[in-house]
Structure 1
Amino acid sequence: MTTELRPLRETDWDAWFDTLDVVFGGVPDGPERRAWWRTVTEVPRNIAVWDGDAIVGTTGAFSFGLTVPGGAEVAAAGVTTVGVLPTHRRRGVLRSMMRHQLADVRERGEALAVLTATEPAIYGRFGYGAATQELRMSVDTVRLAAPALPGVDDVRLRLVDPVAGLDACERVYGRLVPARPGMLARRPGWARQGVLDPESERRDAGPLQCVLAEVDGEVRGYARYAVRPDWDQAGPRGVVQLRQLDALDPVVHAALWRHLFGIDLTASVVTRSRPVDEPLLHLVPDQRRLDVGVREALFLRPVEVGAALAARTYRTPVDVVLEVADDFCPWNAGRWRLSGDAKGASCERTTDPAELALSVRELGSAYLGGFTLSALAGAGRVRELRPGALAAASLAFGSDPAPWLPHGF
């Protein structure tokens, strides 16, 4: 078999996307979502592998800014659309695409690459580590009282057309981006992802709804959701399917949740992605009625170790020499001295003795503060070479608030 890897051309996009549909099960996206994907695709950042005149492998990247601990926005490649046709697996196609892509990310000056994974086991060998988690909840709104805080009655809630409310919601989202690691600074066109609502994807739910939360005439939060009607012998058992909820302060946050609890003919609210420090956990008297599950969300890979570690701040002062293994991007391998605190950091090559040994994958997991170096050491994935180095570095890498990826890409 002879294959050729080359950057995507504008005229190849439809065939490239058709291949992607096959890779992900053969059920094509509807015209509305496909058209949106076309508007946000950065064609020069996408790759196709050809076998003759057929595309057999795909991958691409989006240009994002990623919030890191300390609030800085760091340029990151949002890796996406990764797939190989079943006829061409285990032949090095994926490896060749990943290698080409990471070299391109480095050349563009992006210190980080991030992705979401349908099959997480694939990406560890390319240096990606799970970096954030998300809560999945099914909230029993029959047995739980609606959340309340002093001042919630002063919050005005207003239902609007989701598209008409897009700009107001995006302003709220933009104000939240610097406050939490893992948030994405979205490029033009990305806000519309949150209001895509093709009937083919509703799965017996009603149309998307949007409620704005206002205080003194200022929009300070919003929630987007759909309602799936359901009944049993006892009466209505409808489900509120929450897509997004963002709020600029605790009172508005509580007011939006109270609204969701009170929607007529419903008995629960389900959501697939909330931060692990979601305040609702502490607004209800019985967390067991939230039926919480946790899973990993964002996977992160330092593409330039020195630049990546210097771009964030650290919870406590840290001065540690890291021995980094990186077989896939060998320019990262070797010893690095990381020195930093809450004001800033530097990370430079050194010949000093190593104090912690780990691979770039573990750096990716610890980078946003979502997983501790100590926990990774407990799994045998970080080795302490100087007594005390692990505890100090693990504390320094931590983050409050918890990192969170607000949406996929």
Structure 2
Amino acid sequence: MSTETRVLQPAEWDEWYGRLELAFGGVAEAPQERKLWHDLTEFDRSIGVWEGSTCVGTAGSFSFRLTVPGGAPVPAAGVTMVSVLSTHRRRGVLTGMMRRLLDGVRELGEPLAVLTASEPGIYGRFGYGAATQELSLDIDTGRAGLTVPDHPDGVTLRMVAPDDVQDACERIYARRVTERPGMLARRPGWERLPLLDPVASRAGASPLQCVVAERGGEVIGYARYAIKPEWTPEGPEGVVVLRDLEAPEPAVTAALWRFLFDLDLTSRLRARTRPVDDPLLHLVSDVRRCSPRLRDGLHLRPVDVGAALAARAYSAPVDVVLEVTDTFCPWNEGRWRLTGDTGGAQCARTSDPAELSLSVRELGEAYLGGTSLAALAGAGRVREVRKGALAQTARAFLGEVAPWLPHGF
């Protein structure tokens, strides 16, 4: 039977989302979680593949603004909800959906497409590269050792219900977005995501808790977390499960970490999805007791190479001709001259000889400044045509802070 790909209609959402749940193991999400994703779905940007009355494929995208090096918020399509029914794999369903989504992104004039990958090996063939990494920590708080001021100047901590300080926390998050590439400006409705706390997802931990840092009555930092009680014959061995922590000042950051390390009846702290240059790594005396692990985070692909490269700033002057290959989006193929510095950039087609040769996937990996073009060249994935072009361009692409995506979509 032939299939039809069409824009998702509101009346089809339950079946469409049910197919997505089936593809990810068949466990139904909690009602409040399902409602959140229903409310966030952008129907005109979502598609389903139907075989008769059966949905066999799902995909969509969100309208995001992504911070890039230099601090600019750049329009980006957040590709999401991708699934193919197991009975319809290897029939071109995924390729067809990716084709339609990226064509649509191009029509909308969005220079970037981003996603988080359930399996990283899937999306490289569509031009996506892993542009951020995320750090996970499992900290022995009794032995890691934390060196912070005992009384940060004017900072007090207060425990509060997460809902009661949602607006203040969102204001802090919004200020932080401009400071680090890879972060997403949250559109209305997305402020509900950090507070999502279904009982079925707690794995024995408490409801979500929140501590805020204040100065002069103003909230200037926060941490949201849960506590998972555990007991052994020797005594309490509870675990602090950190959801998120944001603070604009080093003293406030340190005060919040100290609070989490010192919680009664706990001996471990688990932090997921932290930036790879998290200040905590420089506050602890023994990072080995933190069991750090890395994994890929945000995957990115330029949809319009010229507009994407011109949208960011560069940490050093750069003037280079890039020979770009892009088999999935052939409008990007060819030579591009990139010129720029810390104040901005221009990127336009050129007939000048190539100086660096790479695919759009390598551009995606290096775009946010967290992956070195020189490292990719060492793996044979970037080729230097003009001697010296690699070093100059690699320096220009690298950022001052590691790019980071703090939450999924």
Which category of TM-score, normalised to the shorter sequence, fits these structures? over 0.9
Identify the residue that residue 236 of structure 1 maps to in structure 2.
236
1:345-367 CA deviation, whole Å, 9 max, x = no partner?
00000000000000000000000
The 8 Å contact of residues 314 and 340 in structure 2, kept in 1 or not, is answered as yes
1:115-140 CA deviation, whole Å, 9 max, x = no partner?
00011100000000000011100111
**Distance in 2 (alpha carbons) for counterparts of 1:181 and 1:10:** 34
The 8 Å contact of residues 147 and 285 in structure 2, kept in 1 or not, is answered as no
Counterparts of residues 19-58 of structure 1 (less than 5 Å): 19-58=19-58
**Distance in 1 (alpha carbons) for counterparts of 2:11 and 2:23:** 20
**Distance in 2 (alpha carbons) for counterparts of 1:165 and 1:268:** 26
Counterparts of residues 154-193 of structure 1 (less than 5 Å): 154-193=154-193
Counterparts of residues 144-159 of structure 1 (less than 5 Å): 144-149=144-149, 151-152=151-152, 154-159=154-159
Counterparts of residues 205-354 of structure 1 (less than 5 Å): 205-354=205-354
TM-score of the superposition, structure 2-length normalised?
0.99
Q: What amino acid is aligned across from residue 90 of structure 2 in structure 1?
A: R
**Distance in 1 (alpha carbons) for counterparts of 2:345 and 2:97:** 33
**Distance in 1 (alpha carbons) for counterparts of 2:357 and 2:162:** 49
Unaligned runs of 5+ in 2: none
1:272-320 CA deviation, whole Å, 9 max, x = no partner?
1110110111111111111100111000000000000000000000000
Counterparts of residues 87-166 of structure 1 (less than 5 Å): 87-149=87-149, 151-152=151-152, 154-166=154-166
Q: What amino acid is aligned across from residue 139 of structure 1 in structure 2?
A: I
Q: CA deviation at 1:33?
A: 0.2
**Distance in 1 (alpha carbons) for counterparts of 2:107 and 2:220:** 40
CA distance 1:257–1:191, shift in 2 (3 Å): same
1:236-289 CA deviation, whole Å, 9 max, x = no partner?
110000000000110000000000001100001101111011011111111111
Q: Secondary structure at the match of 2:391?
A: helix
The 8 Å contact of residues 146 and 262 in structure 1, kept in 2 or not, is answered as no
- Number of residue equivalences: 409
The 8 Å contact of residues 277 and 402 in structure 1, kept in 2 or not, is answered as yes
Q: Secondary structure at the match of 1:154?
A: coil
Is the counterpart of residue 401 in structure 1 residue 401 in structure 2?
yes
**Distance in 2 (alpha carbons) for counterparts of 1:62 and 1:151:** 43
TM-score of the superposition, structure 1-length normalised?
0.99
**Distance in 2 (alpha carbons) for counterparts of 1:231 and 1:144:** 21
Q: CA deviation at 1:146?
A: 3.8
**Distance in 2 (alpha carbons) for counterparts of 1:152 and 1:284:** 17
Identify the residue that residue 63 of structure 1 maps to in structure 2.
63
Q: What amino acid is aligned across from residue 75 of structure 2 in structure 1?
A: A
1:353-403 CA deviation, whole Å, 9 max, x = no partner?
000000000000000011000010111110000100001100000001110
Identify the residue that residue 16 of structure 1 maps to in structure 2.
16
**Distance in 1 (alpha carbons) for counterparts of 2:388 and 2:259:** 49
Q: CA deviation at 1:153?
A: 6.1
Q: Secondary structure at the match of 2:118?
A: coil
**Distance in 1 (alpha carbons) for counterparts of 2:151 and 2:365:** 39
The 8 Å contact of residues 315 and 399 in structure 1, kept in 2 or not, is answered as yes
The 8 Å contact of residues 150 and 251 in structure 1, kept in 2 or not, is answered as no
**Distance in 1 (alpha carbons) for counterparts of 2:156 and 2:150:** 14
Is the counterpart of residue 382 in structure 1 residue 382 in structure 2?
yes
Q: CA deviation at 1:149?
A: 2.9
Q: What amino acid is aligned across from residue 237 of structure 2 in structure 1?
A: R
**Distance in 2 (alpha carbons) for counterparts of 1:220 and 1:402:** 23
Q: What amino acid is aligned across from residue 26 of structure 1 in structure 2?
A: G
**Distance in 2 (alpha carbons) for counterparts of 1:145 and 1:299:** 34
The 8 Å contact of residues 138 and 271 in structure 1, kept in 2 or not, is answered as yes
Q: What amino acid is aligned across from residue 323 of structure 2 in structure 1?
A: E
Q: CA deviation at 1:179?
A: 0.5
Q: CA deviation at 1:147?
A: 3.9
Identify the residue that residue 358 of structure 1 maps to in structure 2.
358
1:21-55 CA deviation, whole Å, 9 max, x = no partner?
11111001110100111111111110100001110
CA distance 1:155–1:105, shift in 2 (3 Å): same
Q: CA deviation at 1:150?
A: 6.7
340-349 or 282-291: which moved more? 282-291
Q: Secondary structure at the match of 2:26?
A: coil
**Distance in 2 (alpha carbons) for counterparts of 1:75 and 1:101:** 15
The 8 Å contact of residues 131 and 368 in structure 1, kept in 2 or not, is answered as yes
Q: What amino acid is aligned across from residue 178 of structure 1 in structure 2?
A: T
Unaligned runs of 5+ in 1: none
The 8 Å contact of residues 23 and 83 in structure 1, kept in 2 or not, is answered as yes
The 8 Å contact of residues 136 and 271 in structure 1, kept in 2 or not, is answered as yes
Could you tell me the percent identity over the aligned residues?
63
**Distance in 1 (alpha carbons) for counterparts of 2:18 and 2:65:** 29
The 8 Å contact of residues 146 and 285 in structure 2, kept in 1 or not, is answered as no
**For the aligned residues, what is the CA RMSD?**
0.9
Q: Secondary structure at the match of 2:206?
A: coil
Q: CA deviation at 1:144?
A: 3.0
**Distance in 2 (alpha carbons) for counterparts of 1:146 and 1:341:** 38
Q: Secondary structure at the match of 2:352?
A: coil
